[in-house]
Structure 1
Amino acid sequence: MDQFDIIVIGGGSAGSAAAGRLAEDGARTVCLVEAGGTNDIVRVKTPGFMPFIPKSSNWRYDTVPQQGLNGRIGYQPRGRGLGGSSAINAMVYIRGHAFDYDQWAALGATGWSYADVLPYFKRSEGNERGGDEFHGGDGPLNVMDQRWPNVTSRRFVESATALQLPRTADFNGPDNEGFGLYQVTQKGGERWSAARAYVEPLRGRSNFDIRTGALVEKILIEEGRAVGVTIRCGRRRETLRARGGVVLSAGAFGSPQILMLSGIGPGAHLQEMGIAVARDHAGVGDNLQDHIDYVSSWETRSTDPFGDSFGGTWRMVKAIVEHRRRRTGIMTTCFAEAGGFWKSRPDLPAPDVQYHFVPAMLEDHGRTKVKGHGFSCHACVLRPESRGTVRLASSDAAAAPTIDPGFLTDERDMATLRAGVRMMHRIVAAPPLADYAGVDRHPVNLDDDAALDALIRSRADTVYHPVGTCRMGSDADAVVDPTLKLNGIDGLWVADASIMPRLVSGNTNAPSIMIGERAADFVKAALS
């Protein structure tokens, strides 16, 4: 049996940050346990290869049939390996709105207001623009402006401006409303995952053990305290012991799954699965929230956007050669190059719709090839009211959990998405984007609510931001308290997007890293 001070389960966005911060001063021994590999491969590190990331780096989960999506099964990609979803995402650096964190605090997450979390965002961020009141300039997570965005992406921003929608150069200041090009988590032309920021610089340290290819089967609970984990490496099982405790960072699906496999969760469900109940906690796996997203695309005669044609393919071949030689050019694309935040009603405290513009035609999360050239635009509901669950499908840790986001089961989400899609079409119809005379691949009468709703339900799905399944709060039903300690079990913390009481108004990678940063401080304080 191996002994450590702290074991961190999961090397994703939050887990990498937590493990790195806990290990960096050498004051404690830390073991980072990750089910996947190192992700130290060209197809992961090259931004433009995002559509070709290998299966070994993606859990590729599915949902149960979704009532709000005409019974369709949704796709839930999740990062596998060091870096987690920051190794397979679109690299967009967004924190959410100040309102989100102030709302967390109002809901009982004491100490998590915007003023409380801003220093941790700044500490994590190494923005190439430099540090200021809202940004860090020397943190480990490199953030930069795109240097070779597609002309079509710039025209999307100009079309939004033509409609008198605000333009912004910084989505991460005091307010995120407006349209512009996204900043990205890249460095020197390559993807800069959380693992490259926090874990790899410490590789080889005597106090830091990085174990990949190690599936956690359960957390060991003895006399009400987390004292270690059992892991499976191929056919071999091992037990790792933790003197100080365990930090669980397996994400909004993995963290509740591991808790339930460890006997912590809804008692009746655990008994059905044949698992002994260590802590009956109904909140584990509840409160699942995700950004429901509708994407449409337009085909163009212009070959300005990326596309599947002889000319488009030859352009990408040349770009790959350029990137391998100099790490420059269009293979640095994040695909979701431009976007914006918009209020569907003027009385809202913060934007409730986000747009991601892609200079290529997308179908089925990019899994279906589309011939020709064109562009796509996503519209997502930022603060959904629909709620779902994560449950065990099996007592085998290798089996995927049962995921039910409950998409569009609350009509308020449909009303918001309907408004967002209509504004999306208005932007596309405005010059200079309209000059492409793009042909809508999914035409609909936008004035007909029933027709538009039917189209949305036939095409909408996640935009990859599940949260909330180990909710943080000060009430008895909360899974973790505001220091991220699991209620009812000592020596166990949860640190990832699963602890969010409410989904943030934006992409979740940067907030997850912030959560990992905070978790490290909480653990250090508890063990001092």
Structure 2
Amino acid sequence: MFDYVIVGGGSAGAVLAARLSEDPAIRVCLLEAGGDGRSILMRVPMAAAAIVPGHVSSMNWGFETVPQRGLGGRRGYQPRGKGLGGSSSVNAMLYVRGHRTDYDDWAARGCTGWSFEEVLPYFLKAEDNQRGGGPLHGTGGPLQVSDAPWVRSINQDFIAAAAENGIPRNDDFNGTVQDGAGVYQVTQFWHGPRLGERCSTAAAYLHPVLDRPNLTVVTGAHATRVLFEGRRAVGVRYRKGRVEDQVEAGREVILSAGAFLSPQLLMLSGIGPAAYLKARGIEPLAHSPDVGRNLQDHLDFTLWYRARTKDLVALAPGSMAAMSAGIGEWRRHGTGRLRTTFAESGAFFRTRPNLDRPDVQLHFLIALVDDHARKMHLGYGYSCHACVLRPHSRGEVRLASADPADMPVIDPRFLWDERDQQVLLEGAKRMRSIMESEPLKRHIREELKPAGRDDDSLLETIRQRSDTIYHPVGTCRMGSDQNAVVDPKLRVRGVEGLRVVDASIMPTLIGGNTNAPTIMIAEKAADMIRAASRDEREPAYSTVSSKASP
């Protein structure tokens, strides 16, 4: 028997387990389907390039989407981190919060307590920023945020080319202004014994406290169902190898399995669209029609260029020799080229002057990264990615069957909304203009797989090769309306003792990379959960009725 059982030890779950177990009187159990998050591939910053391309493995869920009409019938690839640290162990480590108005929009939609001014303290609480503290940066937190430690000079040419296209230099995307081009800050250890390593949530929050007697972490444990007594969650059933077992929760069960697996587990447990569950042999416990709906993701389009410069990461003899030397440097000193994020710089801009915030983000990569690094190209080159920050298209996650071992059915419905097509088209045109401006043009040997030049052919190219940039959210939407899956305190409507704490609760996608916001969500949730346990006046569940119905 534990007080809290957390399902999923990723970007949110690792934070929750560490924060809740700070109180020695609280017993916490964390169930994680993957491993311990200590692999060298998860510690060396650039080594994620070896994890992301692989399909299902011990470190990557390797999901795929259903065929996408907006992408010419192709299936999209959806790599997600598996193991303690989750996707924070395999991402590009970019520390981006999004635009302040993204959170104000949440509050305006009925998510009381989630405005920017109300979530900012939790961003600051998490941070130990190399630049020091201030109104918009924190120090002393578990998550080390550093200036990019290995930046190639071509990034300055990208920033200069962006300036020639009306995008000013910005040295802090998390400052008072998001618009502009600059070098990203990253989640890497910048001081201490792990200098130079990736600072995943496992490394930052969880690994240092695994010896707490009130914290139990079970890896290799695939949750199959939330257990209920009546409408109260009392535990979790899980499979470890060929053995099935269960763990009991005296206070709450918390799902932190991510935008694909948290809604899947809710539906497997009887929480979702009632008629849909019945048709799949699952007895509905609580009718919650929006479970699995509202899926949003950043769709990404890429341009690639073979380069004259050799100051890049490439499949070329000189680069490989430098990489071999870099291994020794990283092992001895925690410095050198193994600390690259590949996506070293980027930009935020508005495709229309009347917008109140940027609607496109660029990632400039010092390598030819094609199809999630699943296609390799010999020789030196670089690439640039453009994504629509606030897509209008909405997808869903559904069950393949009532068998928990089956992967969820993922349908992002990329480019279903014509407004997304137009924004990505305008973003791609601006990106190409930047890439062909003089500061970068001198580096170009040739464009690899040239994109169309007129709007119609460029849009067709976008359909042929766009895919996710790894930011799925929204499938357990937070809100105050009757159809919201969780309320603003992240309690699942219609049942007791159950919360969802991960990126799936975002009502709308934020304008930037989603790892930092997911960590913030977990920090805020930890405070709400502790407050609920102290305040006997607050019921431990949502009081909104949600009677099962066809």
Q: Give the alignment's TM-score, normalised by structure 2.
A: 0.94
Kept in 1, the 8 Å contact 2:303–2:451? The answer is no
* AA in 1 matched with 2:219: T
Kept in 1, the 8 Å contact 2:37–2:202? The answer is no
Kept in 2, the 8 Å contact 1:381–1:413? The answer is yes
Match of 2:116 in 1: 114
Match of 1:85 in 2: 87
Cα separation, 1, equivalents of 2:24 and 2:350: 47
SS in 2 for 1:204: coil
Counterparts in 2 of 1:281-430, with a 5 A limit?
281-430=288-437
Deviation at 1:437, TM superposition (A): 2.5
Counterparts in 2 of 1:92-107, with a 5 A limit?
92-107=94-109
* AA in 2 matched with 1:519: A
Kept in 1, the 8 Å contact 2:303–2:432? The answer is no
Deviation at 1:72, TM superposition (A): 0.2
Aligned pair 1:41/2:39, yes or no? yes
Aligned pair 1:458/2:460, yes or no? no
Match of 1:185 in 2: 187
Cα separation, 1, equivalents of 2:102 and 2:12: 19
Deviation at 1:360, TM superposition (A): 0.5
Q: CA offsets per residue over residues 329-367 of structure 1, 9 Å max, x none?
A: 011001111001000011111100000010001111101
Match of 2:514 in 1: 508
* AA in 1 matched with 2:288: H
Aligned pair 1:70/2:76, yes or no? no
Aligned pair 1:476/2:482, yes or no? yes
* AA in 1 matched with 2:43: K
Match of 1:273 in 2: 280
Cα separation, 2, equivalents of 1:514 and 1:347: 30
Q: CA offsets per residue over residues 306-336 of structure 1, 9 Å max, x none?
A: 1111112111111112112221101100111
Cα separation, 2, equivalents of 1:364 and 1:335: 15
Cα separation, 2, equivalents of 1:39 and 1:527: 30
Cα separation, 1, equivalents of 2:79 and 2:439: 34
Cα separation, 1, equivalents of 2:197 and 2:438: 33
Deviation at 1:275, TM superposition (A): 1.1
* AA in 1 matched with 2:523: E
Match of 2:548 in 1: none
Identity across matched positions, percent: 51
Match of 1:201 in 2: 208
Deviation at 1:36, TM superposition (A): 0.3
SS in 2 for 1:307: coil
Q: CA offsets per residue over residues 411-444 of structure 1, 9 Å max, x none?
A: 0001000011011111111132111134111323
SS in 1 for 2:293: coil
Q: Which moved more, 1:49-58 or 1:139-148?
A: 49-58
Q: Which runs of 5+ in 2 are unaligned?
A: 190-194, 535-550
Cα separation, 1, equivalents of 2:373 and 2:441: 24
Match of 2:538 in 1: none
Deviation at 1:175, TM superposition (A): 2.4
Match of 1:215 in 2: 222
Deviation at 1:445, TM superposition (A): 4.1
Q: 1:132 aligns with which of 131, 134, 157?
A: 134
SS in 2 for 1:238: strand
Q: 1:145 aligns with which of 147, 154, 162?
A: 147
Q: CA offsets per residue over residues 221-271 of structure 1, 9 Å max, x none?
A: 211111100011111111100000111100000100010111111112212
Q: Which moved more, 1:420-429 or 1:49-58?
A: 49-58
SS in 1 for 2:381: strand
* AA in 2 matched with 1:222: E
Kept in 2, the 8 Å contact 1:221–1:278? The answer is no
Q: 1:163 aligns with which of 153, 162, 165?
A: 165
Q: CA offsets per residue over residues 21-48 of structure 1, 9 Å max, x none?
A: 1111223000011000012011110012
Cα separation, 2, equivalents of 1:519 and 1:169: 31
Q: Which moved more, 1:194-203 or 1:153-162?
A: 153-162
Cα separation, 2, equivalents of 1:212 and 1:445: 48
Deviation at 1:62, TM superposition (A): 0.2
SS in 2 for 1:190: coil
Q: Which moved more, 1:375-384 or 1:194-203?
A: 194-203
Misfit runs of 4+, over 3 Å: none
Kept in 1, the 8 Å contact 2:476–2:485? The answer is yes
Cα separation, 1, equivalents of 2:405 and 2:438: 51
SS in 1 for 2:369: coil
SS in 2 for 1:362: coil
* AA in 2 matched with 1:441: L
Q: 1:524 aligns with which of 499, 518, 530?
A: 530
Cα separation, 2, equivalents of 1:235 and 1:164: 59
Equivalent pairs counted in the alignment come to: 525
Deviation at 1:489, TM superposition (A): 0.9
* AA in 1 matched with 2:168: P
Aligned pair 1:23/2:21, yes or no? yes
Cα separation, 1, equivalents of 2:271 and 2:421: 34
Cα separation, 1, equivalents of 2:294 and 2:455: 29
Cα separation, 2, equivalents of 1:20 and 1:255: 20
SS in 2 for 1:364: coil
SS in 2 for 1:372: coil
